[in-house]
Amino acid sequence: MTLSENSSPEQIVSWFRDNGWGLTLHTDPPPRGDVSNVPRALRVLPRFSHWADLVSLETGPVVTRWYGGGMDEAQAVKSAGRRWRAEHGEPASHTEEGGR
């Protein structure tokens, strides 16, 4: 499965897991004083209520806090998927592989 813009939150979570990553969902906002670990796009948007941290399944600890954000868990997961695609140069595919 590819990580596409149209992937459901469940598909995104599965994709991350299949590639050695996990997403931990929470409602702890980023600290107001230090937002250096929060992407600029997430800093300028309205305050989100739900967040996804990127976790290494191999080593266990959080790799990146507040990796994605949204107004609910599904939006936070989709945001994390978009960020992964943007950071890793993956195209924002709108179809699954072989689904053309």
Q: What is the mean pLDDT of residues 5-25?
A: 95
Q: Of 38, 36, 31, 33, whose CA–CA distance to 52 is shortest?
A: 38
Give the span between the Cα atoms of 4 and 51, in whole angstroms: 20
70's CB contacts (< 8 A; 6+ apart) are 48, 49, 50, 76, 77, 78, 79
pTM above 0.85, yes or no: no
DSSP tag of 1: -
Gap between the Cα atoms of 63 and 65, Å rounded: 7
pLDDT above 80: residue 48: yes
Position 96 pLDDT exceeds 50: no
